[in-house]
Structure 1
């Protein structure tokens, strides 16, 4: 295959990498937000479910989770559906296993991050929404969550970069993403430097784009926010 043919394949693999990373991150964000909101109040059942989930998915490597989802996911889903009287067979593709594995693993980390951000929102903000009789859903969407985003954005940005880089491991379950095509091209042409350099350029470019976008989002979340500067000692001696 000519050189440009392999370059086109790497471009196709880059698109697959982006798709996996975006869907996995959105899944992780959904899981993390739900667990963060659910664990704000101490409920025994919720805390047991959270501790079990967090212990499993933070203690097992994401690649191993992907292997388990890929090779055992179909059987697990079929068994669960059979309990409801549904005899349905679902084939788990490498793409589905990759998204599920990365989403479940990093959802546990995002839950801690988002919960900490919510707890760091000044209590006066919650009290103000009650005094102004703002409906609870509107208060969360319009008042609390924008402040949570401002506080959690640096950690969320770093988590996105980690998810993006971890997609390189998913090629081991057969997903044809950028690293799989780079390995194939370097093996055929015996020129690994060129194709691995292209893959490195892709990840570096995505990282640079991430920081650029995160800075714009941070500027948006800081609109109207003026931190209080404390001059002099905080207390009198």
Structure 2
């Protein structure tokens, strides 16, 4: 069979499935980034709280989930979550195995990993804010919520964007490991296509090329977001950053 037929969109081609796999990869990564942003914000707040217990718990989270292999975390979430659901179902009178959905397990696992890195990104971004601005806001009587909304949050986001871009790229690559749960994302689809056609070199090269396209487009998005946020900042403030 001709190469163009194999990668095409006809009845014998794998083009549509490969694009669907790429879309699934993006969906897993975007969901994981959102989960990680929530967890990262909570953990960063704990580490910056000044409370030794909260700070220790936040440090434990970032140490564990940045130090343990990503594949192990995915296995623990997928198989551990399925075992927990089965146990709950059995306790409620349901007989049989209850499996955690592959997409949910993969997004949650990658999100937990992402949260450990995002916590450090947000913590570093907060520490980059000029203390003088925070002191000035307190001096004029600006209450905590208003100070967070007008000073802290905009600057944390501005300083965090480059780091979040790196976390996104990391999560995008980690999403390939979700294929072990059976989710038909880009890596899994490339494996199935390669195994079915015996064209391993062709489909793994195509899979790699699609990953490069996704990462290149992601770079453009995050670079554009960084330029947009910097546009509203005074030149002096940008020079200090």
| TM-score where L is the length of structure 1 | 0.85
CA deviation string 1:49-103 (max 9, x = no partner): 2233223212211111111111111334677x79xxx949864112111111111
> Contact 1:125–1:144 (CA<8 Å) still a contact in 2?
no
CA 1:118–1:77: 2 relative to 1, 3 Å: farther
Deviation for aligned residue 1:132:
3.5
Greater alpha carbon shift after TM alignment, 216-225 vs 171-180: 216-225
2:235 to 216, 219, 226: 226
For residue 24 of structure 2, what is the aligned residue in structure 1? Answer: 16
Match of 2:192 in 1: 184
Q: How many angstroms does 1:147 deviate by?
A: 1.1
Gaps of 5+ in 1: 231-237
* Structure 1 pair 10–123 and aligned structure 2 pair: CA distance change class (3 A): same
Aligned mate of 2:169, from 148, 158, 161? 161
| Greater relative contact order (CA < 8 Å, ≥ 6 in sequence) | 1
Q: Tell me how far apart the structure 2 counterparts of residues 39 and 47 of structure 1 sit (CA, whole Å).
A: 4
SS of residue in 1 equivalent to 2:14: helix
**Deviation digits for residues 178-226 of structure 1, max 9, x if unmatched?**
1111111112222223322322222111112112111221122111331
Structure 1 residues 76 and 160: CA distance shift in structure 2, 3 A: same
1:115 CA displacement: 0.6
Q: How many residues align?
A: 226
Task: Write the mapping of 1:1-237 to structure 2, written as runs, cut at 5 A.
Answer: 3=6, 4=9, 5-76=13-84, 87=92, 91-222=99-230, 223-227=232-236
C-alpha root-mean-square deviation of aligned residues, in Å?
A: 2.5
Gaps of 5+ in 2: none
| TM-score, structure 2 normalization | 0.84
